[in-house]
């Protein structure tokens, strides 16, 4: 409708004021809820042609549209804003066109699709996935689906942090205190077992530091000189030198972690097209750094460490290789970026990483640019806020994180309790019930996280997320299941929904309001893609579910005696369920047929 209105407005100015205007002078937006109308046209850019007041110009243009364009049912002018009311006949025709379209998401396709890499998850192999990782994975996976829906070729990537001092901490603790413990011998999931030794390292390390401080050593010196930290650093040097014993230990413990990660990813419903490992990409990064020294882009300090000077870019000097020759995070990120560009020739690369790394990605982009990689302009840090619990922040070093596996299990159990209380699954098999509990529990978790603006910090409250009322995943799932129930009853009654009966479709204000909201679906998907915001789509799904429930409460569907009205309401219900299903699928959320 916006494009049609734009053409009609250009026609109005040409006829009324004998002037041709460009598209950029026509400003059309949806009318605010506190005013009557569907679309609002800003009159101020047209005053140079009308030579009149904004109000008078609005009246003149409004009258022209009312008499020349049958879709306009009325208008009003408020302080230079022309509010246009679209006729019910046009809305019903629009709905029919939308309802009969085989793939509604075709409307989201961009004219010039791009190759986009989305990096998410990025776990460390020294601990299991936690609540923060859940937000990361859900954001990354939903961005992949939303961008793909708009026609982009999207590659889902994961970079595993499988090297570094933190990995050596777990390895060293297991070596010193593990007594040969394995996932099989202990019955502990592999990533949890390795995480146990990371926490144990920190506990023993803290005790050593406290002991040195008690003996009069300054705290910073104590941290650097504690025996455990010295051993961990020595292990890292050995690892990078290819020491067989260290490498074998590393491979064994990493294999435990990867098996654990795969279980969690499967439960969460996310996957990847390509997994990179920092133990491989840091080598590429180191070669790039050494070449840049030769090209005098970087410089070497007297202690042999390698740095880049970014003060001219408003940043600082950044370490790229330590004095002992070992690589830092920046080194391996340089290698990963170059490797990905060589493999995929991406237009954009989105790093789904928490906002505590904002400066890191500023530096990464600046270093690559300084090295002459023009494609670095396509790097984008999708910076999201931290997840906290009602009781505060999580600390992995102290073992106070919310484990992803435990949380997923808890959400399923809560869904079970709530669903059994409702008592609507009595005739379902045990397997069918378990599938529904899983969909509800994970739907609650995913939606609660994705509905929040990704750039904001958030507090996750499991009890709030599982509520069947309000802005929650189960509320939207229940709405979807309610519509499916309507159609099961319609089949039993022998009532069919024939969307093609356009001439017989009719409805009142509530039906038309629902049509207007359905119209916003593809526009919302496009906005979610261009703004990298799954929250826009999540909250749209809630608005639609809320509007439909009000409609369902106020009007009879199958009991409506007028066949034309009943058919229209059934058609509205069908399209609503399809859009809710598609919208939630783009968020990675499954919809149960019954709850």
Does one domain contain both 536 and 580? yes
**What does the DSSP assignment read for 205-230?**
HHHHHHHHHHTT--HHHHHHH-HHHH
What backbone torsions phi and psi does residue 591 show, to the nearest 5 degrees? -115, 120
Number of domains in the chain: 3
What backbone torsions phi and psi does residue 318 show, to the nearest 5 degrees? -125, 130
What ranges in 108-243 are assigned the alpha helix state H? 131-149, 165-177, 183-186, 190-214, 219-225, 227-240
Task: Please check whether residue 259 lies inside any domain of the structure.
Answer: yes
pLDDT over 90 at 562, yes or no: no
Does one domain contain both 257 and 342? yes
Number of C-beta neighbours around residue 502 at 10 A: 14
- How far apart are alpha carbons 126 and 168 in whole angstroms? 8
**Cα distances (Å, whole numbers) of residue 353 to 83, 153, 340, 343, 393:** 43, 21, 17, 22, 17
- How far apart are alpha carbons 281 and 331 in whole angstroms? 9
Reported confidence tier of residue 394, pLDDT bands at 50, 70, 90: very low
Does one domain contain both 381 and 430? no
Does one domain contain both 177 and 275? yes
**Which burial class, exposed, middle or buried, applies to 42 when counting CB atoms under 10 A from its CB (0-12, 13-18, 19+)?**
middle
Q: Which residues contact 251 (CB under 8 A, 6 or more apart)?
A: none
Does one domain contain both 344 and 483? no
**Which burial class, exposed, middle or buried, applies to 591 when counting CB atoms under 10 A from its CB (0-12, 13-18, 19+)?**
buried
Strands 379-384 and 348-354: parallel
The token pair at 75 is 């208008």
Task: Please check whether residue 453 lies inside any domain of the structure.
Answer: yes
Q: What is the CATH number of the domain that holds 169?
A: 3.40.50.620
Reported confidence tier of residue 399, pLDDT bands at 50, 70, 90: very low
Task: Please check whether residue 407 lies inside any domain of the structure.
Answer: no
If one compares 325 and 378, the residue with the highest pLDDT of the two is 378
pLDDT over 60 at 393, yes or no: no
End residue of a domain, out of 86, 111, 145: 86
Instruction: Give per-residue pLDDT as tens, 255-295.
Output: 999 999 999 999 999 999 999 999 999 999 999 999 999 88
- How far apart are alpha carbons 300 and 321 in whole angstroms? 9
Element (H, E) at 81: strand 81-86
Does one domain contain both 322 and 449? no
Would you say 475 and 455 are in contact if contact means Cβ atoms under 8 Å apart?
no
Does one domain contain both 367 and 440? no
For residue 514, give its domain range.
417-586
Strand extents, DSSP E, 336-486: 348-354, 379-384, 387-388, 458-459
Which pLDDT value is given to residue 8?
93
Would you say 589 and 478 are in contact if contact means Cβ atoms under 8 Å apart?
no
Does one domain contain both 381 and 475? no
Would you say 141 and 154 are in contact if contact means Cβ atoms under 8 Å apart?
no
Does one domain contain both 75 and 137? no
Does one domain contain both 428 and 577? yes
Q: What is the CATH number of the domain that holds 568?
A: 1.10.730.10
Helix (H, G, I), strand (E, B) or coil at 320: strand
Task: Please check whether residue 406 lies inside any domain of the structure.
Answer: no
pLDDT over 60 at 151, yes or no: yes
End residue of a domain, out of 44, 68, 86: 86
Instruction: Give per-residue pLDDT as tens, 513-537.
Output: 899 999 999 999 999 999 999 999 9
Does one domain contain both 466 and 567? yes
- Give 127's strand partners: none
Instruction: Give per-residue pLDDT as tens, 419-461.
Output: 777 766 777 888 888 899 999 999 999 999 999 999 999 988 8
- Residue 128, sorted as left (phi over 0), alpha (psi -120 to 50) or beta, turns out to be beta
Half-sphere exposure of 15 (CA within 13 A, CB side): 12
Does one domain contain both 155 and 260? yes
Which pLDDT value is given to residue 281?
94
Task: Please check whether residue 485 lies inside any domain of the structure.
Answer: yes
- Give 39's strand partners: 30, 84
Task: Please check whether residue 249 lies inside any domain of the structure.
Answer: yes
Q: What is the CATH number of the domain that holds 48?
A: 3.30.1360.70
Which pLDDT value is given to residue 39?
95
């Amino acid at each position: 409708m916006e494009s049609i209105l734009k053409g009609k407005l250009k026609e109005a100015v040409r006829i009324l004021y004998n002037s041709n205007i460009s598209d950029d002078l026509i400003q059309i937006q949806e009318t605010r809820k506190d005013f009557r109308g569907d679309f609002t046209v800003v009159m101020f850019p047209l005053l140079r042609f009308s030579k009149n007041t904004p109000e008078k110009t609005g009246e003149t243009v409004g009258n022209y549209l009312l008499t020349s364009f049958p879709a306009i049912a009325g208008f009003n002018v408020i302080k230079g804003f022309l509010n246009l009311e679209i006729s019910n006949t046009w809305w019903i025709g629009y709905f029919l066109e939308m309802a009969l379209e085989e793939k509604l998401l075709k409307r989201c396709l961009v004219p010039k699709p791009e190759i986009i890499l989305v990096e998410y998850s990025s776990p460390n192999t020294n601990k299991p996935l936690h609540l923060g990782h859940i937000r990361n994975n859900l954001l990354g996976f939903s961005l992949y689906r939303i961008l793909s829906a708009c026609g982009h070729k999207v590659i889902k990537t994961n970079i595993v942090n499988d090297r570094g001092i933190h990995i050596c901490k777990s390895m060293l603790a297991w070596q010193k205190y593990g007594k040969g413990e394995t996932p099989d011998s202990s019955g502990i999931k592999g990533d949890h077992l390795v995480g146990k030794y990371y926490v144990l390292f920190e506990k023993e390390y803290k005790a050593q530091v406290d002991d040195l401080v008690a003996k009069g050593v300054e705290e910073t010196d104590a941290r650097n000189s504690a025996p455990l930290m010295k051993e961990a650093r020595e292990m890292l040097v050995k690892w990078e030198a290819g020491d067989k014993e260290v490498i074998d230990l590393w491979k064994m413990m990493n294999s435990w972690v990867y098996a654990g990660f795969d279980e969690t990813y499967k439960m969460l419903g996310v996957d990847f097209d390509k997994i990179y490992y920092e133990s491989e990409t840091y080598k590429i990064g180191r070669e790039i750094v050494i070449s840049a020294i030769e090209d005098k882009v970087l410089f070497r300090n007297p202690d042999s460490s390698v740095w880049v000077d970014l003060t001219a870019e408003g940043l600082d000097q950044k370490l790229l290789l330590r004095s002992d020759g070992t690589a830092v995070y920046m080194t391996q990120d340089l290698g990963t970026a170059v490797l990905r560009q060589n493999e995929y020739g991406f237009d954009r690369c989105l790093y789904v990483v928490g906002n505590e790394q904002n400066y890191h990605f500023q530096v990464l982009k600046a270093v690559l640019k300084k090295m002459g990689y023009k494609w670095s302009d396509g790097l984008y840090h999708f910076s999201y806020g931290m997840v906290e619990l009602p009781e505060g922040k999580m600390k992995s070093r102290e073992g106070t994180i919310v484990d992803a596996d435990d949380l997923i299990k808890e959400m399923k159990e809560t869904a079970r309790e709530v669903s059994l209380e409702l008592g609507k699954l009595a005739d379902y098999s045990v397997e069918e019930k378990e599938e529904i509990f899983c969909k509800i529990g994970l739907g609650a978790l995913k939606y609660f996280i994705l509905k929040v603006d990704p750039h904001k910090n958030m507090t996750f409250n499991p009890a709030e997320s599982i509520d069947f009322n309000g802005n929650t995943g189960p509320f939207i799932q229940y709405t979807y299941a309610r519509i499916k129930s309507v159609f099961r009853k319609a089949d039993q009654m022998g009532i069919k929904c024939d969307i093609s009966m356009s001439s017989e479709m009719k409805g009142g204000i509530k039906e038309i309001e629902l049509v207007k909201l359905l119209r916003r679906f593809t526009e919302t998907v496009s906005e979610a893609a261009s703004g990298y915001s799954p929250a826009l789509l999540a909250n749209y799904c809630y608005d639609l579910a809320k509007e439909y429930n009000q409609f369902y409460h106020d009007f009879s569907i199958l009991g409506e005696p007028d066949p034309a009205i009943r058919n229209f309401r059934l058609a509205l219900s069908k399209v609503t369920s399809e859009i809710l299903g598609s919208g939630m699928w783009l968020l990675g959320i499954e919809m149960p047929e019954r709850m």
